[in-house]
Structure 1
Amino acid sequence: MQINFAKMSGAGNDFIVIDTMQQPVNLTEPQILSLCTRRTGIGADGLILVESSETLDFSMRYYNADGKPGSMCGNGGRCAAYFAYTTGISGKTASFQANGDHYNAWITDIECVKLKMTVPDDFRSNFYANGFSCHFVNTGSPHTIIYTEELDTFNVENAGSAIRNNSTLFPEGTNVNFLEVTGPDTLSVRTFERGVEAETLACGTGAVAAALMSYKLEKVSSTSIRVTVRSGDTLHVDFSDDMKEVFLSGPAKVVYTGTVNV
């Protein structure tokens, strides 16, 4: 089976994006894992299927790099919206469905997308996991948050893996974000992602979780937060004081297009 695809990057989070409206695609878990594996496959943090929708512009189906269905991916959603815009599926404003939720996105500039997120829930603060003081919030995906003043040298892989696999606290796993507060409206974040099982260069739902939790804990004072991710890019998280309206903005671009035999 030959598949047309786009390789996309959302602030360093990279994805394989496939338009199933133009070509029927039925991939198995091992095939998705193979495609996402770096060096031997295309290589990506995840795979996105852009599918038809009866009521919205499209539907987004997301798979983690391990081949398993994933929860919401904020940068993936922004990339899917930009892909839909560049291929004519939608205009500069897009409405799509992902994991049963309705999302709106706007192309705000060249290779820049703003996405309205779902209302966050399950806020938890000040608990311990694997020796670390932690906080937790679900922003469409589960996120554990740990603050540090030594982010650049922090061993994200070891600590992140241990907490992600703490089945007592997180039976379904968790993403783990390590944060450094750098100003009243700025954060730096490194994320160990569930499903990738490694640190990624960016995480959209993680940036949102970092901004919301930092505001809730009064570590930042603004409802417009700039979040610097591992790639060096900046994601913008804007939200209402009650956190009922939350938006994620940042870069999204097509790196290249191609075909692959599966």
Structure 2
Amino acid sequence: MTSSAALPESLPFRKMQGLGNDFVVIDARKRPLALTQPQLARIADRRFGVGCDQLILLEDTPQAHVRMRIFNPDGGEVGACGNATRCIAALVHAEEGQDPVRIETRAGILVGQVLGAEVAVDMGLPLLGWGEIPLAGSGPDTLRVPFDGAAVDPRLPGWFSAVNMGNPHGIFLVDDADALPLETIGPRLETDPMFPEKANISLVSAEGPNRFRVRVWERAAGITLACGTAACAVAVAVWRLGLVEGAVSIRLPGGTLRIDRDARGHVIMTGPAATSFTGSLDGAWLAAARG
């Protein structure tokens, strides 16, 4: 639940998207809001609400230009979202002229820089420890975690790579990411006991030098057109596996992200961000979802 305050009669929002990964952005920097999990889920509902992959709540913070809280469509809060970070960096830059933009998240301070029509975001260092992902049990490394993928689909490998980029990711390298039924594979892998906090699941296939096709099942959200943290996690995995060395192009259903790393090992994600439309939510309608 967000910080305590009464709902207004009308609540403005902004709909934004990065490669089709879409967000309802609500500005609570000047007026704190009290939104329950059912209210957050009502806004995110694509049939009865506005509809989005994640709801973003902006708050004031002394630590950065803005604090960004991220909620999945079920109303549960998560730590990071790369596409949303680009969107909020573009929004704060347009409003205040800040560049670079410092954004506080549960995963730490992320820094975005507007580069014309695109935004580059420093997503920080990946977490690679067994308990940092987290994975159930323990093991020597998270690069090739043994896993009976054939029990889910015979085309899955017998291992996956695990990376945490603010949320947990399981990365499965396959011959053809488009050939597998992600709609059935995704929910089974997301909730596998190997992932005690569930996980985003990526199917990855090579398309050419430093270029990969990626489809993502996001925990609590399902199949999305793009996932920025998944693109970063895939890049980290293929770097660690020795498949590529430099910048990586990640082609998602909604478009392509460029992932690179700096001398410190920080993951740098670059791609577009845009506002689709603005509107307002009826306070009485929202209050009816209180639970």
Cα-to-partner distance string for 1:220-261 (whole Å, 9 max, x where unaligned):
x23201111011x110101147x7221011011001111111
Q: Determine which of 200, 222, 238 is the counterpart of 1:175.
A: 200
Cα distance in 1 for partners of 2:83, 2:63 equals 23
Return closer, same or farther for 1:81/1:240 CA change in 2, 3 Å cut-off: closer
Q: Identity over aligned residues, as a percent?
A: 30
Alignment of structure 1 residues 11-160 onto 2, 5 Å: 11-88=19-96, 91-99=98-106, 101-110=108-117, 112-122=118-128, 123-131=142-150, 132=156, 133=158, 134-160=160-186
More strand by share: 1
Could you tell me which residue of structure 2 aligns to residue 187 of structure 1?
A: 212
Unaligned runs of 5+ in 1: none
Aligned CA-pair RMSD = 1.5
Distance 1:55 1:144 in 2: 31
Question: What TM-score, normalized by structure 1, do the two folds share?
Answer: 0.92
**Are 1:249 and 2:270 an aligned pair?**
yes
**Structure 2: distance between partners of 1:5 and 1:23:** 13
Cα distance per residue 1:15-41 (max 9 Å; x no partner) = 011111244322110011111111211
Q: Which amino acid aligns with 2:261?
A: F
Work out which of the residue numbers 253, 256, 275 in structure 2 matches 1:230.
Answer: 253
- The amino acid of 1:213's aligned partner reads A
Which moves more between the two structures, 115-124 or 34-43?
A: 115-124
Give the unaligned 5+ runs of structure 2: 1-7, 129-141, 151-155, 287-291
SS in structure 2 of the partner of residue 87 of structure 1: helix
State the AA in 2 paired with 1:118: G
Classify the secondary structure of the residue corresponding to 2:77. Answer: coil
- Give the residue type in structure 2 aligned to 1:203: C
Secondary structure at the counterpart of residue 5 of structure 1: strand
Q: Which structure has the larger Rg?
A: 2
Is the 1:130–1:163 Cα contact (8 Å) retained in structure 2? no
Number of corresponding residues:
255
Distance change (3 Å), C-alpha of 1:24 and 1:256: same
TM-score, normalised relative to structure 2: 0.83
Instruction: Report if aligned partners of 1:118, 1:140 keep a CA contact under 8 Å in 2.
Output: no
1:259 correspondence with 2:268: no
Amino acid at match of 2:279: G
CA contact (8 A) 2:143 2:240 kept: no
Return the letter of the residue paired with 2:194: L
Tell me, in whole angstroms, the C-alpha distance in 2 between the residues paired with 1:35 and 1:130: 36
Structure 1 segments (4+ residues) deviating >3 Å:
none
Post-superposition Cα deviations, 1:48-100, rounded to whole Å, max 9, x if no partner, equal 11111113211111111110111211111111111212232x52310121005
Say which SS state the counterpart of residue 152 (structure 1) adopts: helix
Contact 1:145 1:179 in 2 (8 A): yes
